């Protein structure tokens, strides 16, 4: 199987079921473009969880960063090595301080960007970003834009609910409960 294959029923390292939305060619191209257009880039692999696939965060020298899904830590390592980017495990080293500093600068002055093509800092909290990713994975769709509208979030929620409904999962409610929990975090349940 290649990097960009889409297999149904894939599982995380812990054995939990994951959506068939694996890393796409666009995800990998985005990472390559980010690394080529910025200096001092390092990669930080985030492990798969019960609801999300493995992700990798590329952090530039000025702290600007981007996150994308990858099929596995091995794929993240292969991409980083081909680009000449050092790669680290976030469980071992955490995240660099420059990344937090960049986010702080963006919150204080969102118009002051280090580069012309800088990715805007998301307006969601980390919990809201995790909830969005949970809905994306369970719905089996590509990631939403960094600052989605309420209509986009509601549409994503409905897609995730349709796929996670207990009637479609032999009465199992685990995915349904995750969808509803994510909706509460995003304020979609009111």
Give me the pLDDT at residue 89, please.
92
Which is nearest to 129 in space by CA: 185, 174, 71, 176? 185
Residue 46 DSSP SS3: strand
Question: What does DSSP assign to residue 123?
Answer: S
Pull the structure tokens for residue 61. Answer: 């020298």
pLDDT digits (tens, 9 = 90+) for 57-103: 999 999 999 999 998 899 999 999 999 999 999 889 988 899 888 88
- Report the pLDDT averaged over residues 46-61: 88
pLDDT tens digits, residue range 155-187? Answer: 888 998 988 888 888 888 888 898 898 888 888
Domain residue extents for the chain: 1-121, 126-186
């Amino acid at each position: 199987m290649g990097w960009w294959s889409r297999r149904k029923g894939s599982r995380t390292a812990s054995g939990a079921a994951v959506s068939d939305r694996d890393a796409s060619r666009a995800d990998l191209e985005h990472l390559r473009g980010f690394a080529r257009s910025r200096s001092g880039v390092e990669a930080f692999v985030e492990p798969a969880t019960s609801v999300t696939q493995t992700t990798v965060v590329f952090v530039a020298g000025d702290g600007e960063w981007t996150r994308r899904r990858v099929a596995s830590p091995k794929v993240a390592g292969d991409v980083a090595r081909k680009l000449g980017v050092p790669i680290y495990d976030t469980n071992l080293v955490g995240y660099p301080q420059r990344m937090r500093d960049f986010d702080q600068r963006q919150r204080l002055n969102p118009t002051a960007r280090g580069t012309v093509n800088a990715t805007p800092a998301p307006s969601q909290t980390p919990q809201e970003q995790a909830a969005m990713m949970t809905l994306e994975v369970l719905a089996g769709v590509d990631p939403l834009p960094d600052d989605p509208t309420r209509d986009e979030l509601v549409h994503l929620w409905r897609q995730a609910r349709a796929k996670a409904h207990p009637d479609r999962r032999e009465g199992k409610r685990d995915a349904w409960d995750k969808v509803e929990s994510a909706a509460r975090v995003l304020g979609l349940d009111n």
